[in-house]
Structure 1
Amino acid sequence: MNQDSVWLGPMRGPVKKLAIGFTALALAVFAWLAINKIFTTDALGIHEMIRAEGGITAKLMLGSLTGAILFGSIYLSDTIGAIEDKPSGFFDYLSLVTSRIAMIAIVMIVLVMFYEVVSRYAFNKPTLWANELSLWIAAFVFLLAGQYAMQQRSHIRIYVIYDLMPRWMQKTSDVISVLLIWVFCFCLVWGGFNDAWTRMLRMETFGTAWDPPIPGTLKPAILFIIALVAVQALSNLIADWHKSPEHHSPADDIDEEEIAMLRKTLGEDK
């Protein structure tokens, strides 16, 4: 990772401290909950975390976890990977932050499933919530990954005809593509807003033993994030408008840096 600040500048240090602070608070609350779970019979569990009976403890846990993820994502978005495109559009920085949220969420899915496997096969105490929680998180990962892919120009594109066009025709094609994205976004939001709003207001649940509000959160998130994708597409169009024509070949998919690292790992480079 490139350690130079991408966009935070002097705020990089304070954001890092906030991320560490919220993470420490979340770990402390989690440790306290775990100890209570071991030594008391009325301790809060994951079932109460999404319900009113969780009280101030559940709010503190969820609030600290949210702060840790948010500020951690902001801090991580201040660096870019070797194969990542540098931000160039007005919306790129938000997309970088949401991409880091998705990356952290993947780690959370792994931890949840690891807990379930150990609980089920080592202690013969399977949970009622691990599968649904991982499904819930994965849905948001899928949505946010779409926004990140748009920012990185990583969606599947066929360049055979596009590369043969003069630059003015390429720009015309780009405008048409963005217009189609916006039309799709408008139709999706127009057709689904009332249903999503109703589900969100009543926090519609999943209808299972744990009963998380997956429909009540995911349906609005779909509309919201598809709108972010549309704005990101417009940001890409504006940022790329004055770029020189690009020509593509199969060699573009070859990551020379990754190949060099593999060779070094295998001992081919002496």
Structure 2
Amino acid sequence: MAKPNPIDRLSRFLGDQICYVFLITVAITAYEVVMRYVFNAATIWVTQTAIFLSALGFIFGGAYAMEQGRHIEITSIYDAVTPPVRRVFDLIRCGVAVVYLGFLLYATVHQAIPALSRMETSGQAWDVPIPAFQKAALALGVAAMLAQALRQLVGRLAGSPRPSGESS
């Protein structure tokens, strides 16, 4: 089996590490439930933190899903066609993903820069700059997905097969 390239390694690393934020989210949500219903002492920070951590998981999980070939696909159609048609489908899928993610990256960067420069806050009770960091994380996550999509498009154009985790 060929050694994964740096983009695949980064996507796998992100997926392997970011999964822990969901565990942390469950733990702090359980803490909130205990504080609220056992001690009648609700917190002001858990909800925003849990939403932020969950968003990070989904944002950075996208590149991992793409690398593993676990992104959305209509397999009933894909599996019913010949390998040359599958290759065309792969090229179309990768090309559309690159275009979409390119535009999305442009939009997220243009939202993240001003949010970070003024340290945009939520305006809620726990008025911390989570939105600024979330917008920056979204831009980084989209950049990781775009890099993965470009790597897959170049691979498909070169005739390489789909990764072993992808449907065949």
TM-score (norm 1): 0.53
Q: Check the 8 A contact 1:89/1:235 in 2, yes or no.
A: no
- Counterpart secondary structure, 2:79: helix
Q: Check the 8 A contact 1:87/1:93 in 2, yes or no.
A: no
- Provide Cα deviations, 1:122-161, integer angstroms capped at 9, x if missing partner: 2221111111111111111111222221111111211344
Match of 2:120 in 1: 204
Q: Check the 8 A contact 1:196/1:220 in 2, yes or no.
A: yes
User: By how many angstroms is 1:190 displaced?
Assistant: 2.6
Q: Distance in 2 between matches of 1:101 and 1:212?
A: 25
User: By how many angstroms is 1:89 displaced?
Assistant: 4.4
Q: Check the 8 A contact 1:89/1:236 in 2, yes or no.
A: no
Gaps in structure 1 of 5+ consecutive residues: 1-85, 253-270
Q: Check the 8 A contact 2:94/2:152 in 1, yes or no.
A: no
Using CA pairs under 8 Å that are at least 6 residues apart, name the structure with larger relative contact order, 1 or 2: 2
- Counterpart secondary structure, 1:146: helix
Question: Is 1:111 the equivalent of 2:40?
Answer: no
Q: What percent of counterpart residues are identical?
A: 31
- Give the paired residue count: 163
Q: Check the 8 A contact 1:106/1:138 in 2, yes or no.
A: yes
Question: Is 1:167 the equivalent of 2:83?
Answer: yes
User: By how many angstroms is 1:234 displaced?
Assistant: 3.0
User: By how many angstroms is 1:167 displaced?
Assistant: 3.2
* Cα distance change of structure 1 residues 152 and 160 upon mapping to structure 2, 3 Å threshold: same
Q: Check the 8 A contact 2:32/2:43 in 1, yes or no.
A: yes
Gaps in structure 2 of 5+ consecutive residues: none
What code does the residue aligned with 2:119 have? M
Displaced runs of 4 or more, over 2 A = 86-90, 159-173, 189-195, 233-237, 239-244
Q: Check the 8 A contact 2:102/2:146 in 1, yes or no.
A: no
User: By how many angstroms is 1:191 displaced?
Assistant: 3.3
- Provide Cα deviations, 1:138-188, integer angstroms capped at 9, x if missing partner: 111111222221111111211344334443332232222211111112212
Aligned partner of 1:228 among 135, 139, 144: 144
* Cα distance change of structure 1 residues 224 and 116 upon mapping to structure 2, 3 Å threshold: same
Match of 2:63 in 1: 147
Q: Check the 8 A contact 1:90/1:235 in 2, yes or no.
A: no
Root-mean-square deviation (CA, aligned residues, Å) is 2.8
Q: Distance in 2 between matches of 1:117 and 1:160?
A: 43
User: By how many angstroms is 1:229 displaced?
Assistant: 0.9
Q: Distance in 2 between matches of 1:169 and 1:109?
A: 43
Q: Check the 8 A contact 2:108/2:138 in 1, yes or no.
A: no
* Cα distance change of structure 1 residues 133 and 87 upon mapping to structure 2, 3 Å threshold: farther
Within 5 Å, give how 1:19-30 maps onto structure 2: none
Q: Distance in 1 between matches of 2:77 and 2:31?
A: 50
User: By how many angstroms is 1:216 displaced?
Assistant: 0.6
Q: Distance in 2 between matches of 1:89 and 1:160?
A: 30
Q: Distance in 1 between matches of 2:63 and 2:3?
A: 14
Q: Check the 8 A contact 1:178/1:230 in 2, yes or no.
A: no
Q: Check the 8 A contact 2:109/2:139 in 1, yes or no.
A: yes
- Counterpart secondary structure, 2:43: coil
Match of 1:214 in 2: 130
